[in-house]
Amino acid sequence: MFGLLKGQVEAIYSDCAIVSCSGVGFLVYSPLRTLHSWQVGQQTTVHTHLVVREDALTLYAFHDYAELLFFKLLLGVSGLGPKLSLALLSGKDLDSLKLAIAAGDLKSLCTVNGVGKKTAERICLELKDKVGMVMQNQVGIASAQDEVSQALQALGYSASEAAQAIMRLTPNERSAELEEQISAVLRYLARS
């Protein structure tokens, strides 16, 4: 129902905030890092997920889309509700959380308030393969971007010029073959 909110932060509480959009204040629950990064009066854009329960409609807000997708992935774990999923994202940064799950690091997951050994085991069991595949894709994309950067530097571009041009690639261009990525980046550089 709500996918994105763009508005002003009106109030910040210990676990939630009010974001005003076109005169309507939305109460949103967010990971602590997101809440701590906001200031009252600041303009913000957040990705949201609405959880519908018999007795409540609760809106969860995330700084970026990757965090929202991981929240939804956590919600898919049996017995893991939105509050505990949010606690996991509050207790660890996204990369650390992915590493802990992929490595089956129960001790690290149990440091999050509300996560016991059985819950940590269930999270690892149900998400280990999914998180591992996501991390492999990210490593593959990063290594391809490194190769594109090296090729551009061999052509005389600086590392910062290469990095800026690579950031302009669309998701489709980033998943293309190396030669196609280099061609796309050279087109961007030629237009600059």
Number of H helices, E strands in the chain: 9, 5
CB within 8 A of 173, min separation 6: which ones?
180, 181, 184
| Within-domain flag for 20 | yes
Query: What's the pLDDT band for 139 if we cut at 50, 70, 90?
Result: very low
The residue among 13 and 66 whose pLDDT is bigger is 13
| Within-domain flag for 8 | yes
| Within-domain flag for 51 | yes
Q: Would you give the distance in Å from CA 84 to the centre of its chain?
A: 17
Domain count for the chain, please give it: 2
| Within-domain flag for 168 | yes
Note the pLDDT of residue 158.
76
| Within-domain flag for 176 | yes
Note the pLDDT of residue 35.
92
Domain boundary among 47, 63, 79: 63
pLDDT over 70 for what percent of the chain?
91
| Within-domain flag for 37 | yes
Residue range of the domain that includes 175: 137-191
Domain boundary among 40, 63, 86: 63
Q: Return the minimum-mean-pLDDT range out of 25-34, 106-115, 141-150, 158-167.
A: 141-150
113 pLDDT more than 60: yes
Note the pLDDT of residue 63.
86
Buried b / exposed e along 167-191 (16+ C-beta atoms within 10 A): eebeeebeebeeeebbebbbeebee
101 pLDDT more than 50: yes
Residue 4: other Cβ atoms inside 10 A: 12
Stretch 138-142: mean pLDDT: 51
| Within-domain flag for 52 | yes
Note the pLDDT of residue 133.
59
Cα gap 110→191, rounded to integer Å: 51
Q: Are strands 57-62 and 24-29 parallel, antiparallel or unpaired?
A: parallel
The residue among 154 and 77 whose pLDDT is bigger is 77
141 pLDDT more than 70: no
We report the CATH number of the domain holding residue 29 as: 2.40.50.140
Tokens of 113: 């308030």
Note the pLDDT of residue 10.
96
pTM of the model: 0.67
